[in-house]
Copies of this chain bind each other. A is one copy, B any other.
Amino acid sequence: VTRVSLPAPDAFAALPATRRRIVAAAVDAFARRGFHATTTRDVALGAGLSPAGLYVHYASKTALLAEVSRIGHEAALGLVAAELGPQAPPGPAAERLRRTVETFTSWHARHHLVARVVQYELTALDPDDRADVVRLRREIEALVEAEVRRGVTDPHTTTRAVLSLCIDVARWYDPAGREAPDDVGRLYGTLVLRMLGASHQEDP
């Protein structure tokens, strides 16, 4: 994993100011109304621009979705690679996996609007952009599956269950609720270690 990948909102912070405003307006509109029901005019207004002003930066609504999806997936991969990739700090395997689930879960709570767009609008991407995103998703799955594989009979579907549990936080998470993103992350870290059974039990 050689890509530079920072967690959002840092990843968005790396964009030039106007693009950052456009992307934020797009995330908000896509998450609330869905990609198909949003017009470029909606996004331009949300960013305080004219439609022509938006086209200077993004050639189409689909190009804008591709940018959100790319940044969101790179941020998610960055989190997972930091714990499970070649540069990850050494330590007990169960702790590595626990930290991965914690950060991946709390990211989906904290950035639930970005995550909803990224997860629910995959089919609206152009084929090339979708292929890029599928590659990023496979990298995430491969890193987690390499950890899960030890001692589990169905590592592929079990890996998908682990990631699915974390990702679905973006659907139900309510920032007005009583749980902070890190609270959900901590509980899920424990639940996943138990779910994986004896070979991944918490270190004694």
In terms of DSSP, what is the predominant structure of the interface of chain A? helix
Distance, CA A157 to CA B185, complexed state (A):
11
CB-CB under 8 A for A157 and B187, given A36-B36, A119-B171, A165-B165: yes
Work out how many copies of this chain go into the complex: 2
Please count how many residues in chain A sit with their CB below 8 Å of the partner chain's CB atoms: 32
Q: Are A187 and B36 in contact, with the CB atoms below 8 A?
A: no
Chain B residues near A154 (CB-CB < 8 A): 187
Q: Are A168 and B158 in contact, with the CB atoms below 8 A?
A: no
Encoded as 1 (CB less than 8 Å from any B CB) or 0, chain A from 13 to 49 comes to 0000000000000000000111111000000000000
Partner of A120, one of B120, B123, B191: B120
Kindly state whether residue A194 has any CB partner on chain B within 8 Å.
Answer: yes
Interface residues in A125-183 (C-beta closer than 8 Å to B): 154, 157-158, 160-161, 164-165, 167-169, 171-172, 179, 183
CB distance from A152 to the nearest CB of B (A): 10
Kindly state whether residue A184 has any CB partner on chain B within 8 Å.
Answer: yes
Kindly state whether residue A197 has any CB partner on chain B within 8 Å.
Answer: yes
Kindly state whether residue A188 has any CB partner on chain B within 8 Å.
Answer: yes
User: Could you list 14 examples of A-B contacts with CB < 8 Å?
Assistant: A34-B34, A34-B35, A36-B37, A157-B179, A157-B183, A158-B191, A161-B165, A165-B165, A167-B171, A192-B195, A194-B194, A194-B195, A194-B197, A195-B195
Interfacial residues, chain A to chain B (CB-CB below 8 A): 32-37, 119-120, 123, 154, 157-158, 160-161, 164-165, 167-169, 171-172, 179, 183-184, 187-188, 191-192, 194-197
A-B contact sample (18 more), CB < 8 A, given A36-B36, A157-B184, A160-B172:
A32-B123, A33-B36, A34-B34, A34-B36, A34-B37, A36-B37, A37-B37, A119-B171, A158-B191, A161-B165, A164-B165, A164-B171, A165-B165, A165-B168, A167-B168, A194-B194, A194-B195, A195-B195
